[in-house]
Structure 1
Amino acid sequence: MMDKKTQKIGVICSIVQIILSIICLIYNAINQENIIIWVLFLCSGILLLSSNISRNNKKEDE
Structure 2
Amino acid sequence: MMGFWDAVVRVIVGVILIWLGIEKGGAFVIAEVFGFILLFTAVIAYCPLYKLAGISSRCEECEPA
TM over 0.5: yes
- Taking structure 2 as the reference length, the TM-score comes to 0.54
Q: Which runs of 5+ in 2 are unaligned?
A: 47-57, 59-65
Whether the aligned pair in 1 keeps the contact of 2:7 and 2:42 (CA below 8 Å) is yes
How far off its partner does 1:39 sit? Answer: 1.8
Alignment RMSD (CA, Å): 2.3
Number of aligned positions between the proteins: 47
1:24 corresponds in structure 2 to: 24
Tell me which structure has the larger Cα radius of gyration. Answer: 1
Q: Which runs of 5+ in 1 are unaligned?
A: 26-34
Runs of 4+ off more than 6 Å: none
* Matches for 1:26-41 after TM superposition, within 5 Å: 35=26, 37-41=27-31
What is the letter of the counterpart of residue 41 of structure 1? A
